[in-house]
């Protein structure tokens, strides 16, 4: 790449970095680190192809400023854990809204495919859910307690078992992103087809509402967070397929770090979903309004934290940055 083209491609970004580095309050340690990594990457490229140019000198000064500021801000707040979940992560997650939407669409598509397959082939549900589960559920329906499966284990055992399993699924959806995102799509497909066929099975038995008002008490958060974990895997896949100005390895490392941060954000939600499934879902006699309230509140929490709050913080930051110029 010619030097002029390299400068034109990155000039606006460098000027933005320079402006941010000159401001004392706008950047947190994580942001500083990301800036330093990107500037260092550009500096390495410039040193290789334009070793004695003004561009290299400029990037060297910019990298030195970023490095100095990182060490000036080395001490982290005692409230780092709280800050991560309340400010740092939501603002960071704003740039991954497209991957989140794609993960949702993939899941929705295969859920519909699972329901359609179950409707078209009466053996499909058994092939997905297994004969033992289907037979047990049919027996529970015959005995007048379709959701009895949620009462068979103790509250604590179910809570721990479900939480661990959900985290395992989340990590699989994320880690399978190393297969250029295809592995993540496969994990989403597996869970979505299972959900679609599962819900059709209860519809076919004439108890769709009774099953939905029970299952979605925990399922709203559980399924939402699997989709978010799928988003993390797609972030990794994108970093491999579309490295941009980075080397493929550098892009992959950044993608894994970004995806891992997304997965970490889901852990409290999986714990909450496990708690609901272990201690609340089993209360199948609760009134409809209470079940609807729990489901609606769970959905509102997910939408707020992963969509609306990141958008709000991003706009707030833009207004703050505009006020500095």
Report DSSP letters for 19-59, one per residue. Answer: HHHH-SSS--HHHHHHHHHHHHHHHHHHHHH-TTSHHHHHH
Count other C-beta atoms under 10 Å from residue 134's C-beta. 15
Predicted confidence at residue 4, as pLDDT, reads: 84
Predicted confidence at residue 73, as pLDDT, reads: 56
Q: What are phi and psi of 74, to 5 degrees?
A: -65, -35
Predicted confidence at residue 11, as pLDDT, reads: 84
Show me where the domains of the chain are located.
3-76, 91-317
Predicted confidence at residue 254, as pLDDT, reads: 94
Is residue 199 classed as helix, strand or coil in its secondary structure? helix
Helix pair angle (288-303, 208-241), 10° resolution: 10
DSSP letters, 95-135, are GGHHHHHHHHHHHHHHHHHHHHHHHH-TTHHHHHH-HHHHH
| pLDDT in 10s for each residue of the chain, 325 residues | 788 888 888 888 888 888 877 775 556 666 777 787 888 888 888 888 888 888 888 888 888 887 777 666 555 555 677 888 998 999 999 999 999 999 999 999 999 999 999 999 989 999 999 999 999 999 999 998 888 888 888 888 999 998 999 999 999 999 999 999 999 999 999 999 999 999 999 999 999 999 999 999 999 999 999 999 999 999 999 999 999 888 999 999 999 999 999 999 999 999 999 999 999 999 888 999 999 999 999 999 999 999 999 999 999 888 876 765 5
Predicted confidence at residue 42, as pLDDT, reads: 86
Candidates 255, 309, 319; CA nearest to 85 is: 309
Alpha helical stretches, state H, the chain: 3-22, 29-49, 54-72, 80-83, 89-93, 97-120, 124-129, 131-142, 155-175, 182-204, 208-241, 248-275, 288-303, 309-324
The whole-angstrom separation of Cα 37 and Cα 70 is 11
Predicted confidence at residue 112, as pLDDT, reads: 97
- Its pTM stands at 0.77
Structure tokens belonging to residue 229? 């974990």
Whole-number Cα distances in Å, 28 to 50, 71, 264, 318, 320: 32, 12, 19, 15, 14
Predicted confidence at residue 35, as pLDDT, reads: 80
Is residue 79 classed as helix, strand or coil in its secondary structure? coil
Structure tokens belonging to residue 221? 């958060």
Count other C-beta atoms under 10 Å from residue 234's C-beta. 27
114 in Cβ contact with 197 (< 8 Å) = yes
33 in Cβ contact with 257 (< 8 Å) = no
Predicted confidence at residue 36, as pLDDT, reads: 78
Taking phi over 0 as left and psi of -120 to 50 as alpha, with beta for the rest, 206 belongs to left
Burial of 315 from C-beta contacts in 10 A (0-12 / 13-18 / 19+)? exposed
Count other C-beta atoms under 10 Å from residue 208's C-beta. 14
């Amino acid at each position: 790449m010619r030097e002029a083209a390299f400068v034109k491609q990155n000039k606006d970004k460098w000027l933005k970095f320079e402006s941010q580095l000159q401001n004392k309050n706008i950047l947190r340690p994580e942001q500083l680190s990301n800036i330093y990594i990107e500037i260092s990457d550009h500096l390495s490229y410039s040193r290789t192809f334009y070793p004695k140019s003004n561009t290299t000198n400029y990037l060297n000064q910019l990298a030195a400023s970023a490095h100095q500021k990182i060490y000036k801000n080395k001490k982290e707040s005692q409230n780092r854990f709280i800050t991560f979940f309340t400010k740092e992560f939501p603002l960071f997650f704003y740039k991954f809204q497209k991957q989140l939407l794609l993960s949702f669409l993939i899941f929705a598509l295969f859920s519909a495919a699972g329901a359609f397959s179950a409707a078209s082939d009466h053996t499909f549900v058994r092939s997905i859910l297994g004969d033992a589960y289907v037979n047990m559920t049919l027996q529970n329906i015959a005995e007048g307690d379709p959701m009895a499966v949620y009462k068979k284990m103790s509250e604590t055992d179910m809570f721990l078992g479900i939480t661990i399993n959900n985290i395992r699924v989340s990590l699989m959806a994320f880690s399978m992103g190393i297969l250029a995102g295809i592995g993540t799509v496969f994990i989403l497909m597996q869970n979505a087809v299972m959900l679609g066929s599962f819900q059709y099975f209860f519809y076919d038995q004439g108890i769709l509402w009774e099953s939905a008002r029970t299952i979605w008490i925990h399922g709203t958060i559980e399924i939402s967070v699997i989709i978010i974990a799928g988003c993390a895997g797609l972030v990794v896949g994108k970093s491999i397929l579309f490295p941009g100005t980075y080397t493929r390895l550098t892009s992959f490392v950044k993608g894994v770090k970004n995806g891992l941060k997304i997965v970490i954000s889901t852990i409290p939600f999986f714990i909450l979903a496990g708690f609901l499934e272990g201690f609340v879902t089993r209360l199948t006699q609760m009134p409809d309004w209470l079940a609807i309230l729990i489901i609606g509140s769970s959905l509102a929490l997910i939408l707020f934290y992963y969509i609306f709050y990141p958008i709000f913080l991003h706009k707030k930051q833009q207004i703050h940055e505009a006020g500095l110029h």
